[in-house]
Structure 1
Amino acid sequence: MPLSPTELDRYRRQMQLPGFGEAAQLQLKNTTALVTGVGGLGGTAALYLAVAGVGKLILVRGGDLIRDDLNRQVLMTDDWVGKPRVYKAQQTLAALNPDIEIEAVCEYVSADNIDELVQAADIALDCAFDFKERDLLNGACVRHGKPMVEAAMNSMEAYLTTIIPGQTPCLTCLYPEKPNWDRWGFGVLGAVSGTLACLAALEAIKLITGLGDPLLGQLLTMDLARAEFTKLRTFHDHDCPVCGGISHHPKKTANRQLATAAP
């Protein structure tokens, strides 16, 4: 389906980017993105996917909004405290961009729902707060051949990479031993989660449209207290229990179209 006159007007400035244009905008429109953990990180990433024109967003997050979420969860408002946050995220994004479809799933990622969620999407953004959900999403993306943008933070540090089954190491290759993770055990500054979220959304947009070079086989680490950024090469464990049996092709160009990255 071609872009409508309203969409052409809405996305005119980004379509002026060299190498982007109407073709890239159509790729965004024809993409379904799954965002898990729609909080300070996932909610902000979803915001920038929405205003960029990703055609459908599937937002997944259980639980109700609490007041200390409000220093970083920019889709929320104070009058929503005590209500399911994912529905407020859906409402806010629909008001920002009525031209896209937004599905809200008021559940946490689980073994019972993850395969259905991943199969319904073209790309996933992992913004969950614990490794249990992250590992479930990683495993499902590997099983179904879907690319995944992996974003995580801890205090003033942040981490970002893009995982493509059969081309890059998976999350279990990166973290075979899971660190102890207490969601209440570290402070969170909204500008830190927002910085990482913007970069995660950009990774997804790059992968979908072919704009620039995504972080394939690279882990971007950020010490935002010192504004220090480092790229590390990631290692594929051929004995990885999740992706070890998949043939890897590190030289394959996967970001020209999402369709080539996610068969």
Structure 2
Amino acid sequence: MPTPHAILSPTERERYRRQMQLPGFGQESQERLKSATALVTGVGGLGGTAALYLAAAGVGRLILVRGGNLQRDDLNRQVLMTDDWVGKPRVFKAQQALAAFNPDIEIEAVCEYVTAENIDGLVQRADIALDCAFDFKERDLLNAACVRWGKPMVEAAMNAMEGYLLTVIPGKTPCLSCLFPEKPEWDCWGFGVLGAVSGTLACLAALEAIKLVAGLGEPLLGQLLTMDLARAEFAKRRAYHDPDCPVCGGVKAKGDRTIPVVMARS
């Protein structure tokens, strides 16, 4: 977990003044955010919106990972994009939009999908990961790397009007493979998406990451938050921690408190 060694500039003090007024937050928590590096995979409707709120909160460095070009049917939910960017690599537009929104943070854009070859290097450079990938192959790679390197992960996923959120702390909570030992199959482009649904889940995912980094409130540990947004119904379900999980079984926690990843479709 990042230690508060970063010094806030006068501009940053002004920018974040309102959140530093929160009980239990203050300057030290803001400095923790500035010192942190967050990895966001799958920067689309979910990951892009989550990255926006991490930038708004003052997370000092964002590593944005997403391959592929923007399509016009992405525009109902990918709020960092613009119509004139259709056909171009979306992750560079996300970088451009976030840099204009908050010039006081560092933003790295990686125009690649998550692979077995690049994931370890990405996770090792981050303090926390948000999993917003669009398939289980990428999710599993990130989950395993976060467990391997002792990095917390916020796992967020959505399907139609439903959302799911899980915070993974290696050695302390169940990991994604504990919940889904057998991977569900779906057509990544074959389900309906309402932008406000992905935005709602993205805000909650960003909030989980901010809470963990800043030491604010009570993170969602060992529980799966499910949402039926068509009915505005939310429920917390205890997640099973499999002692024989091939990914996290027998893993011991590193440090006092680590940080989470997201189960998300973009």
Cα deviation code 1:84-135 (max 9, x no counterpart):
0000000000000000000000000000100000001000000001000000
Q: Does 1:223 align with 2:223?
A: no
Paired amino acid for 1:24 = S
Aligned match of 2:147: 142
Are 2:252 and 1:254 aligned? no
Rounded to whole Å, the distance in 1 between the matches of 2:253 and 2:68 is: 38
The whole-number CA distance in structure 2 between the counterparts of 1:242 and 1:145 is: 12
Q: In structure 2, what is the Cα distance between the partners aligned to 1:240 and 1:46?
A: 30
Shift of 1:254: 2.8
Partner of 1:261: none
Q: Which of 25, 28, 39 lines up with 1:23 in the alignment? A: 28
**Which residue of 187, 190, 197 corresponds with 2:195?**
190
1:109 is the counterpart of 2:114:
yes
Q: Distance in 1 between matches of 2:168 and 2:145?
A: 12
Q: Kindly provide the CA deviation profile for residues 135-160 of structure 1, in whole angstroms up to 9, marking residues without a partner as x.
A: 00000000000000000000000000
Unaligned runs of 5+ in 2: 1-5, 260-266
Equivalent in 165, 177, 181 of residue 172 of structure 1: 177
Count of residue pairs the alignment pairs up: 254
User: Aligned match of 2:216 in 180, 189, 211?
Assistant: 211
Alignment partner of 1:12 out of 17, 24, 32: 17
Q: Which has the higher contact order (CA 8 A, sep 6+)?
A: 2
Contact conserved, 1:123 with 1:147, CA < 8 A, in 2?
yes
Q: Within the alignment, does 1:42 sit opposite 2:47 as a pair?
A: yes
Q: Give the counterpart letter for 1:245 in structure 2.
A: G
Write the letter of the residue equivalent to 1:196: L
TM-score, normalised with respect to structure 2:
0.93
TM-score by length of 1: 0.95
Aligned amino acid, residue 155 of structure 2: E
> Is the CA contact 2:155–2:167 (under 8 Å) kept in the aligned structure 1?
yes
Residue identity in the other structure for 2:161: M
Give the counterpart letter for 1:190 in structure 2.
G
2: CA distance between counterparts of 1:145 and 1:181? 29
Instruction: Determine the structure 2 residue equivalent to 1:133.
Output: 138
| Residue in 1 that maps onto 2:84 | 79
Pairwise CA RMSD:
1.3
Judge conservation of contact 1:41–1:196 (CA < 8 Å) in 2.
Answer: yes
SS at 1:92 equivalent: helix
Q: 1:124 — aligned with what?
A: 129
Give 4+ residue runs of structure 1 displaced > 2 Å after superposition. Answer: 252-255
**TM-fit CA distance, 1:34:** 0.0
CA shift digits 1:18-54 (9 cap, x unpaired): 0100000000000000000000000000000001000
Q: How does 1:146-161 map to 2 (within 5 A)?
A: 146-161=151-166
Structure 1: segments with no counterpart, 5+ residues: 259-263
Check conservation: 2:150, 2:253, Cα contact below 8 A.
no
1:64 and 2:69 matched: yes
Give me the whole-angstrom Cα distance separating, in 1, the residues matched to 2:231 and 2:83: 32
3-state SS of 1:14 partner: helix
Look up the equivalent residue of 1:73 and give its one-letter code.
Answer: Q
